[in-house]
């Protein structure tokens, strides 16, 4: 019926019905909406501005150590972030190739506008998904259960589940020096009303802050004074299902701050919003501003600064490492005191943003509110930072919202299955006291949660949920069959002892064979690559081995070389339940333990937990610390046993 004051576009219709409504069109919101829609739910995504879908308001990059693993897991479960990064990349690089496989990770520089556009294209072509521009102002809840959502323009969306993915927009203000104004990001209006509705439902809210560095005109830098950072000549992709289209890659540059830079910062620290009190929320410790870095590490003479292009359609460049919300004239001075940037022209001042978040201990492991049925949340609203952390939560919240609508049990990943499991478990069990960022050290089984095996770990689960197609699953299974085939081949093929193999092995810096060995055994030697192995076997075997696909080769190398460690981690998972109750002696000395972080030593010494389980729940003590602690603890207990035995023998 037409009404006097039409609210909709045509006739005055005021209400629509969905299964799932996602609030927010950032990296969490997009994944949540896509997952729910792809699982067959009638889904709407409500965002303040449809021109800013999947905007990258901070660094123009996806992936990196810890984060890249999350993106691969999102991809393995049928999410979009990895594929989208592949579509929009302008540089792809595998990080830490010289280090162990657990910390290897892919990182993509992206063209920001292209990244947004592609995500918008994907969203608008997804069946069951409506895109709605508007401000969500309140949740409709009846008997502690979600029934709908209201928009500021008067429209009502009835639904069974709501996923909040509001990023930094709730009651947000942007801050530079002692100046601030209400904005979710610079130039964009904040969401002023939703927080009140959440508070009225009895949910607790708190304040966090985040910040972004200045952008400069890329034509005003001096590349000659910086280190060129190029992409991989033959880049791998985030996506398990498609290779990135080949394209010309764009270089980044590396420079560093100098004592002169630090002097500028120190001289103006009193103007920092953190000092002047114009920001009250807590900021990230692990992605700190340059001012914070100088406070935390007063002895370091330099900090790295990566100069990264924001895209191919703009000259703007991002200054990773120079995050600051100091006054603009100080930002100018900081930039110009940095080698290669002496003549750089500031285009966008860096700034801080302060916003409401929902402390995540109010959530279940399904990212479902403990008190309001049908209410899910994902991304920065849960106290995290980073596009990858956001996408991972978005995907899980979208999946769980869809399962909730269908009255099916939630989908939860464990800490030994995925970084996603680590992320969510950390959030909901430990809570956050600063924006949470993923590190490989947060995972106790990081040798199992690798970049290369994400699909092996997760795709069957994505397939079960309907997010991975049969064709995609066939790709994974084909690779797994090939892996098994070649692993078996390596067991049966022999490398013969003799002058030829001795010479080859010698040139690789490893000992000659005393007798013939299986190829699998030889590959366990850290110096021997799969390609070397191919040269060591007979011509007939050579032909068989050399046909292995690249990803199979990578996994064969990792599995052989790290077999011992991997086996130990698997055993550790089995032992895990036992360690939870393992007692720690009251006089256990932490300070001398090798491999424990300083923070962990400090907290453990002060708090003196009585069991490993208790120790593991102390904020600041990471799962990696617990692994280290367990090794020392077993050694300690074993040693005291031995001492007792010795004493008895005397």
Residue 596 three-state SS: coil
Nearest approach in angstroms of CB 173 to another protein is: 11
Q: Does 387 bind another protein (CB under 8 A)?
A: no
Nearer to another protein among residue 180 and residue 393 (C-beta)? 180
Q: Pick from 30, 236, 317, 346: which binds another protein (CB under 8 A)?
A: 346
Binding mask 77-96 for another protein (x = CB under 8 A): ----------x---------
Q: Alpha-carbon distance 586 to 459, whole Å?
A: 45
Question: Binding of another protein at residue 23 (CB under 8 A)?
Answer: no
Give the nearest distance from C-beta 105 to another protein in angstroms.
24
584, 615 contact by CB (below 8 A): yes
- Longest CA–CA span in the chain (Å) reads 100
Please report whether residue 181 would count as binding another protein according to CB under 8 A: yes
DSSP result, 80-95: SHHHHHHHHEEEEEEE
Nearest distance from C-beta of residue 192 to another protein, angstroms: 10
Q: Does 269 bind another protein (CB under 8 A)?
A: no
d(CA 444, CA 628): 10
How many residues touch another protein under the rule CB under 8 A: the total is 71
Task: Give just the sign of the alpha carbon dihedral 573, 578, 581, 582.
Answer: negative
Least distance from C-beta 534 to another protein, angstroms?
Answer: 35
The residue from 4, 10, 539, 564 that contacts another protein (CB under 8 A) is 10
Q: Is 25 in the site for another protein (CB under 8 A)?
A: no
Contact pick of 349, 360, 374, 386 for another protein (by CB under 8 A): 349
CB of 72 to another protein, least distance (A): 23
* Among candidate residues 344, 312, 108, the one with its CA nearest the CA of residue 218: 344
- Of 227 and 347, CB closest to another protein: 347
Query: 36 or 346: whose CB is closer to another protein?
Result: 346
Q: Is 270 a binder of another protein (CB under 8 A)?
A: no
Number of CB atoms found within 10 A of residue 343's CB? 12
Closest Cα to residue 45, out of 392, 378, 403, 386?
Answer: 378
Instruction: Single out the residue of 348, 521, 524, 608 in contact with another protein (rule: CB under 8 A).
Output: 348
* Under rule CB under 8 A, residue 375 binds another protein: no
400 binds another protein, rule: CB under 8 A: no
Return the DSSP state at 110.
Answer: E
Alpha-carbon distances, residue 111 vs 70, 91, 126, 227, 293 (angstroms): 20, 9, 23, 21, 28
How far from 101 is each of 69, 225, 589, CA to CA, in Å?
11, 33, 32
The distance of closest approach from Cβ of residue 278 to another protein in the complex, given in angstroms and rounded to an integer, is 11
Comparing CA positions, the residue from 538, 80, 58 lying closest to residue 319 is 58
Nearest to 57 by CA among 476, 412, 353: 353
CA distances for 590 relative to 121, 224, 579, 595, 607, angstroms? 54, 48, 18, 11, 11
* Owner of token pair 């602690």: 629
- Contact segment (CB under 8 A) with another protein among 4-12, 411-419, 454-462, 472-480 equals 4-12
Q: 129-133 and 145-151 as β-strands: parallel, antiparallel, unpaired?
A: unpaired
- How distant, in Å, are the alpha carbons of 19, 41, 127, 386, 434 from that of 123? 17, 14, 9, 21, 32
250 binds another protein (CB under 8 A): no
Candidates 85, 183, 443, 447; binder of another protein (CB under 8 A) is: 183
CB of 287 vs another protein, minimal distance in Å: 21
Using the rule CB under 8 A, is 51 a contact of another protein? yes
Q: What SS3 class is residue 376?
A: strand
The nearer residue to another protein, 286 or 329, going by C-beta atoms, is: 329
Single out the residue of 187, 464, 506, 526 in contact with another protein (rule: CB under 8 A): 187
Task: Write down the least CB distance from residue 248 to another protein, Å.
Answer: 9
Considering only residues 102 through 161, tell me which ones interact with another protein, judged by CB under 8 A: 111, 113-114, 117-118, 120-121, 123-125, 130-135, 151-155
CB of 616 to another protein, least distance (A): 43
Does 179 engage in binding with another protein (CB under 8 A)? yes
- Output the smallest distance, CB 61 to another protein, in A: 17
- Of residues 206 through 245, those in contact with another protein by CB under 8 A are 215, 217, 245
Out of 28, 33, 36, 44, which residue is the one contacting another protein (CB under 8 A)? 44
Site for another protein in 271-330 (CB under 8 A): 312-316, 327-329
Could you say which of 32, 36, 55, 149 contacts another protein (CB under 8 A)? 55
Nearer to another protein by Cβ, of 147 and 314: the residue is 314
Using the contact rule CB under 8 A, the part of the chain among 182-190, 473-481, 487-495, 551-559 near another protein is 182-190
Alpha-carbon distance 118 to 110, whole Å? Answer: 12
The tokens describing 368, both together, are 């479902």
Residue with tokens 């993915």: 165
Under rule CB under 8 A, residue 5 binds another protein: yes
Give the DSSP H/E element, type plus range, for residue 133: strand 129-133
Task: Tell me the residue ranges of DSSP E strands in 295-422.
Answer: 304-309, 316-320, 346-348, 351-357, 375-377
Q: Which of 43, 52, 272, 324 binds another protein (CB under 8 A)?
A: 52
Say whether residue 260 binds another protein (CB under 8 A): no
């Amino acid at each position: 019926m037409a009404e006097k004051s039409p609210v909709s576009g045509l006739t005055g219709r005021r209400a629509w019905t969905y299964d799932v409504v996602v609030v927010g069109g950032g990296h969490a919101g997009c994944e949540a909406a896509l997952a729910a829609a792809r699982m067959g739910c009638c889904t709407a995504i409500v965002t303040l501005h449809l021109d800013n879908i999947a905007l990258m308001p901070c660094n123009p990059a996806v992936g990196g150590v810890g984060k890249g693993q999350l993106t691969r897991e999102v991809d393995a479960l049928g999410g979009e972030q990895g594929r989208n990064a592949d579509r929009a990349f302008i540089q792809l690089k595998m990080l830490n190739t010289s280090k162990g496989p657990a910390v290897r990770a892919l990182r993509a520089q992206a063209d920001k506008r292209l990244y947004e556009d592609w995500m918008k294209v994907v969203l608008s072509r997804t069946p069951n998904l409506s895109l709605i521009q508007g401000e969500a102002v309140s949740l409709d809840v009846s008997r502690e259960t979600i029934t709908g959502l209201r928009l500021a323009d008067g429209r009502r969306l009835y639904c069974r589940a709501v996923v909040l993915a509001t990023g930094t927009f709730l009651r947000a203000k942007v801050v530079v020096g002692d100046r601030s104004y209400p904005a979710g990001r610079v130039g964009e209006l904040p969401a002023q009303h939703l927080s009140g509705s959440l508070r009225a439902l009895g949910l607790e809210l708190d304040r966090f802050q985040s910040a972004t560095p200045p952008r400069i005109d890329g034509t005003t830098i001096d590349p000659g004074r910086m280190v060129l950072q190029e992409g991989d000549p033959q880049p791998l992709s985030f996506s398990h299902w498609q290779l990135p289209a080949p394209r010309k890659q764009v270089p980044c540059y590396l420079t560093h701050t100098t004592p002169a830079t630090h002097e500028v910062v120190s001289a103006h620290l009193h103007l920092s919003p953190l000092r002047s009190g114009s920001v009250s929320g807590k900021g990230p410790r692990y992605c700190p501003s340059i001012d914070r870095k100088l406070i935390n590490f007063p002895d370091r003479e330099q900090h790295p600064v990566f100069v990264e292009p924001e895209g191919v359609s703009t000259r703007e460049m991002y200054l990773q490492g120079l995050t600051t919300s100091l006054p603009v004239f100080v930002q100018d001075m900081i930039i110009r005191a940095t080698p290669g940037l002496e003549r750089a022209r500031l285009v966008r001042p860096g700034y801080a943003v302060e916003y409401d978040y929902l402390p995540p201990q109010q959530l279940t492991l399904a990212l479902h509110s403990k008190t309001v049925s049908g209410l899910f949340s994902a991304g920065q609203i849960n106290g995290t930072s980073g596009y990858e952390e956001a996408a991972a939560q978005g995907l899980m919240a979208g999946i769980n919202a869809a399962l909730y609508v269908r009255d099916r049990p939630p989908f939860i990943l464990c800490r030994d299955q995925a970084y996603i499991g680590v992320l969510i478990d950390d959030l909901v069990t430990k809570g956050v006291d600063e924006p949470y960022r993923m590190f490989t050290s947060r995972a106790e089984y990081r040798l199992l949660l690798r970049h290369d095996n994400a699909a092996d770990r997760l795709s069957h689960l994505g397939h079960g949920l309907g997010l991975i197609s049969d064709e995609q699953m066939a790709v994974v299974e084909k690779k797994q069959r090939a892996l098994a085939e070649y692993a078996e081949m390596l067991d049966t093929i022999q490398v013969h002892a003799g002058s030829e193999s001795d010479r080859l092995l010698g040139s690789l810096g490893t000992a000659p064979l005393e007798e013939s060995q299986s190829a699998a055994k030889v590959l366990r030697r850290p110096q021997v690559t799969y390609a070397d192995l191919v040269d060591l076997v007979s011509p007939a075997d050579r032909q068989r081995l050399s046909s292995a696909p690249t990803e199979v080769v990578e996994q064969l190398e990792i599995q052989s070389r790290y077999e011992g460690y991997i086996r130990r981690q698997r055993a550790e998972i089995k032992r895990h339940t036992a360690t939870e109750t393992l007692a720690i002696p009251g006089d256990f000395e932490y300070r001398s333990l090798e491999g424990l972080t300083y923070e962990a030593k400090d907290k453990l010494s002060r708090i003196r937990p009585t069991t490993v389980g208790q120790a593991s729940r102390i904020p600041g003590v990471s799962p990696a610390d617990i692994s280290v602690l367990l090794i020392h603890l077993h050694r300690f207990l074993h040693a005291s046993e031995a001492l007792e035995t010795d004493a008895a023998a005397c």
